[in-house]
Amino acid sequence: MSKTEARSRRFVAEAAVSMSTPRLQRTMSRTGESLYKSLGLEKGATPEEIKKAYRKLALKYHPDKNPDNPDASEKFKEINNANAILNDDNKKRIYDEYGSMGLYVAEQFGEESVKYYFLMNKCWFKAFLVCCGIITGCCCCCCCCFCCGKCKPSGEMEDYDVINPEDLEAQIRAEQGADGGVNSPIVIQPQPESPKSGSI
């Protein structure tokens, strides 16, 4: 068996294995280590180490240097993504603290909202909200029921009838007519005097 036959058989075997196992979609991590691992670094690497590792791996997996290997282009995309995130100070800080889930939240809601999102997902915060809801719910119930009926207004307010606006207007007109026009408003202004003829 020649070397070329051995290579071709190995290539076919690797292709069959890769076809039989579908690529799993990456899950959102909260630890923030997988981007460092894709560059072959430990978490907390310096920017210089990140640049060196990126250059080395980018040259190794560049699609132009590996035209026959489809996995090389996928690896190259992964390396580019890791480099783009780890070279941006804000994204790197978010990734180091909250992982790829933090980056997703920053994309959706903004970078300032990441810490509040993770705060609201903590168990103690949810328990605090439930306790506040119970306390204010009971307080609201007492206030809405007028302190269990002690401060409820008396029934005197209910004795007043609702007045029809037309009846009210008729009552006002009748009162104005009873005055005999003494207090009625003046509607017409006095006429100006005409000049006397001949007095110039």
Q: Is the pLDDT of residue 17 over 50?
A: no
pTM value?
Answer: 0.50
Contacts of 29 (CB under 8 A, 6+ apart): 99, 100, 101
- CA-based max dimension of the chain: 144
Q: What is the pLDDT of residue 164?
A: 82
Q: What is the dihedral of CA 64, 70, 74, 79, to 10 degrees?
A: -40
Residues in the chain: 200
Least confident range from 9-13, 17-21, 58-62: namely 17-21
Residues 91-126 have pLDDT tens digits of 988 888 888 888 898 989 888 888 888 888 899 999
Residues 142-195 have pLDDT tens digits of 666 655 556 666 655 555 567 788 888 888 888 877 665 566 666 677 777 776
Q: What is the pLDDT of residue 124?
A: 93
Q: Which domains does the chain have, with CATH numbers?
A: 28-122 (1.10.287.110)
Q: Is the pLDDT of residue 6 over 60?
A: no
Place of tokens 């009625």: 184
Q: What is the pLDDT of residue 12?
A: 43
Tell me the CA distances in angstroms from 40 to 50, 56, 142, one per residue in order: 9, 10, 62
Residues 120-143 have pLDDT tens digits of 889 999 999 888 878 877 666 666
Residues 20-43 have pLDDT tens digits of 433 334 456 655 568 888 888 888
Provide the sign of the torsion angle of the four alpha carbons 70, 74, 75, 80, taken in this order.
Answer: positive
Alpha helices (runs of H) in 39-122, residue ranges in sequence order:
47-61, 70-87, 89-109, 114-120
Q: What is the pLDDT of residue 178?
A: 65
